[in-house]
Structure 1
């Protein structure tokens, strides 16, 4: 595996870990949930469409070069890979709505609970995804999956029960929204992995983010676009959230994952958790105890363990074949 592909996925996952800290800082400046998520998706959408346009121009330039060498005229319909039907566009927009819902409920939880706890709750999407798949396929989880669930539950209880304010007493509303974010993210993982994977990531991302933006603007009308609030510090927070949340990770994942595989990507993706907890401690000055760090490590083991098992089984199978 080339180091640049490993770094691509690593940096992409770490970028997600930055978001909760930026959101809490935005709340500290008095901005509201709809304003924060709205500016994030707006800037992310603009960046995504800029990338899609660049990709299309690059494809056309390559096409002209190839046709110039062959002596054929440029076919205007030759770049059909970037042309989608409206049915395909609407489907991608629909698939993108869980990302907006995840952002809304996750960021809403940050109004009630520390960022270090919110990210741990979000990471429960791992076992929730497994549970949904087991129910849909009517298959009983194997021993590896059950052991993983034990690690995830144990680490979560340790980190959540012994962290923060007043001996670990947190808002039930905040915890509920944190878990709802995990459910929503699980749905996104399940749906996005099956939605028109033959379409290039740049076009898929642009339409999916557009769908999320439309949903947020319906739920929270974008008054900030017209009352001048956009040109305050809100634009800075929105740009940072859009850049690190809606733009950088999909691009870097699209570059790295095909070369390192989904199993290794799952292992590297776990870096989001310690990055978020570390920043909540250093920037937001949240109390992160040694016991909480132990809980974080246990949760990380729960995320990484099944991926390592798959890699080991695959390597064993390849050795037997050779």
Structure 2
């Protein structure tokens, strides 16, 4: 397992952890939810389509070279087979990908709005509840009871969340219920995004898939929040910088690095490394936003990380034992 593929997934996951800090800083400058999410998806969409165009150019160049070799070696049949190897996107495929990308926009809206009411360190912990929510959804859909390791994982996640939220250190919670609700709803939305995105035209190149999915999210946000910032001059203020950073670290870098690293390290290890988002977000909220994070809360973060990693470590151990027998 090459280190560069491990690092690519680790850096991609850590990039997600930066987002909440940038959003809180943008709110501090007076920008609104629709403006922040709109500029994020707009810049992310532009970057994704530039990557898709570059990928298409590379594929055409490679196809021309292979076609020339095939024609000189075995005639036109091999050239036609090579061209047919890459599936073509129909408009039905494009619409499906756009629909599959909409939950990620909804996740951003819910998660970023929760940051108006609760600390970033708590918001990211609530978002990470997608781990047990996805287990619950799969158990209901497949009518299968979770096994012992999954039940133990759920206990770890819920216990870690209580500690990370700081609920054990105060008699009465000072967090608005709407902030907690928005954070949990973002976890539900993120779960749906994971379920839909994995099934949406998986045979298509990741660059094209991500471009169309981000486009779908952008269309939804622009419908919910008309992009007045494009015409009133607000885009050319600090909003452009915040939007570019959010688009770069949220909509562009992670999908690209995941596409590079995950095929080489496997989904199990990618799931473990993906948990890096949580400590990065809490660290930045503590050092950049000056949020107070106690040692007990850090203990809760570590327990949540263990809860995220435990099922994947168990699967990896089971696969290793199966190969040895």
Structure 1 partner of 2:40 = 40
Q: Deviations over 1:76-124 (max 9, x none)?
A: x937736311111000000000000000000000000000000000000
TM-score when scaled to structure 1? 0.96
2:204 to 199, 205, 209: 199
TM-score when scaled to structure 2? 0.95
Segments of 4+ moved more than 6 angstroms: 72-75, 163-167
Structure 1 partner of 2:307 = 302
User: 1:1-322 counterparts in 2 under 5 A?
Assistant: 1-70=1-70, 71=72, 78=83, 81=86, 83-162=88-167, 168-320=173-325
| CA shift for structure 1 position 153 | 0.2
Unpaired stretches in structure 1, ≥5 consecutive residues? none
Alignment: residue pair count = 319
Residues in 2 aligned to 1:79 and 1:272: alpha-carbon distance in whole angstroms: 39
Question: Do the aligned residues in 2 keep the contact of 1:122 with 1:182 (CA within 8 Å)?
Answer: yes
| CA shift for structure 1 position 231 | 0.5
Q: Deviations over 1:241-262 (max 9, x none)?
A: 0000000000100111111111
Question: Do the aligned residues in 2 keep the contact of 1:163 with 1:292 (CA within 8 Å)?
Answer: no
Question: Do the aligned residues in 2 keep the contact of 1:60 with 1:79 (CA within 8 Å)?
Answer: no
Residues in 2 aligned to 1:212 and 1:170: alpha-carbon distance in whole angstroms: 29
| RMSD (Å) for aligned C-alpha atoms | 1.7
Residues in 1 aligned to 2:321 and 2:157: alpha-carbon distance in whole angstroms: 27
Question: Do the aligned residues in 2 keep the contact of 1:114 with 1:164 (CA within 8 Å)?
Answer: no
| CA shift for structure 1 position 315 | 0.3
Unpaired stretches in structure 2, ≥5 consecutive residues? none
Residues in 2 aligned to 1:159 and 1:38: alpha-carbon distance in whole angstroms: 30
Q: Secondary structure at the match of 1:81?
A: coil
